[in-house]
Amino acid sequence: MYELLTGPLLWLVFAISFGGLLVRVVLYFKGLSQQLDRVAYKAHLSYGLKGAFNSIISWLNPVGARAWRKKPGYTFIFFAFHIGLLATPIFLAAHNIMLQENLGFSLPQMPAFFADLLSWTVIVACVAIILRRIALPEVRILTTAYDYLLLVITVAPFVTGLIARYQMGDYQFWLLAHIITGEIWLLCLPFTKLSHCVLFFCSRAQLGMDYGIKRGGLKGSTFSW
Kindly list the residues in this chain that would bind another protein in the complex (CB under 8 A): 27-40, 42-44, 55, 59, 65-67, 70-71, 74, 78, 133, 136-144, 147, 193, 195-196, 199-200, 202-204, 206-208, 210, 213-221, 223-225
Please tell me the distance from the alpha carbon of residue 16 to that of residue 79, in angstroms, as a whole number.
27
Q: In angstroms, what is the minimal distance from the CB of 30 to another protein? A: 7
Nearest Cα residue to 49 out of 57, 59, 37: 57
Residue number with CB closer to another protein (24 or 165): 24
Residue number with CB closer to another protein (104 or 137): 137
Residue number with CB closer to another protein (78 or 114): 78
Residue number with CB closer to another protein (89 or 208): 208
Please tell me the distance from the alpha carbon of residue 157 to that of residue 49, in angstroms, as a whole number.
36
Residue number with CB closer to another protein (59 or 174): 59
Within 126-172, strands assigned E span none
**185 CB contacts (<8 Å, ≥6 apart)?**
153, 154, 156, 157, 194
Q: In angstroms, what is the minimal distance from the CB of 5 to another protein? A: 29
Q: In angstroms, what is the minimal distance from the CB of 189 to another protein? A: 12
Nearest Cα residue to 154 out of 98, 218, 85, 77: 85
> Residue 215: what residue type?
R
**43 CB contacts (<8 Å, ≥6 apart)?**
none
Measured from the Cβ of residue 131, the count of other Cβ atoms closer than 10 Å reads 11
Q: In angstroms, what is the minimal distance from the CB of 157 to another protein? A: 20
Q: In angstroms, what is the minimal distance from the CB of 183 to another protein? A: 22
